[in-house]
A and B are shown apart, each in its own frame.
Chain A
């Protein structure tokens, strides 16, 4: 198990995600790779034009679940530093909703960590999105994989 070299960074914010700032947070001299994923609002979705998404989240639990995912990644892979950031509030097409930046000594573990991270975060972060278009709004169907539904 590799211990994180520096404290990881977890962010939930209503503000625009500053991707260059996210990158800077994980730079380390001992790491030869920074791997990343940025998720953005897409239109159309399911064949319908999207005007914007309203993201709602349970902030304290989001941060706790981000910590769990990072801990698991550090346990399984050789990583230097991890940043997870998720934006809430109203987001328009092309705007970034989630950013993952992971520094690692070598690229293979970093790339694997990013792929695992986005799947785990989508399944576990308590976030919901209301999709708003010209013909009204609807809650986007979510995943119950992380819990036990009533």
Chain B
């Protein structure tokens, strides 16, 4: 499957883009995809990042399927 992964704030700055394309096996986890993106983009470190799948907080062990929307972002600071 292929995913368009959204990146926000510091991670967007590190990547130099608001999203990145990831290709791999269906059922790959959030952690797998983070490691894959770091491999593809050596300037990107996602250590400490939070993840969301389809607008809900996700765990590193959560698996993705085709059509899911994945996002990585730093700890949040609204208000």
With A57-B78, A128-B76, A150-B34 already in contact, 12 other A-B pairs whose C-beta atoms are closer than 8 Å: A56-B8, A64-B56, A65-B55, A98-B78, A121-B78, A122-B77, A126-B8, A127-B77, A130-B9, A139-B9, A139-B10, A140-B77
A140→B9 CA distance, assembly (Å): 11
| A125 in complex: contacting residue of B31, B47, B76, CB < 8 Å | B76
A61→B75 CA distance, assembly (Å): 14
Q: A98 — which chain B residues lie within 8 A by C-beta? A: 78-79
Chain A interface residues (CB < 8 Å from chain B): 39, 55-58, 60-62, 64-65, 86, 97-98, 118, 121-130, 139-144, 146-150
- Chain B residue with Cβ nearest A64: B55
| A128 in complex: contacting residue of B34, B71, B74, CB < 8 Å | B74
A55, A56, A150: which has the most chain B beta carbons within 10 Å?
A150
* A105 vs chain B, min Cβ distance (A): 27
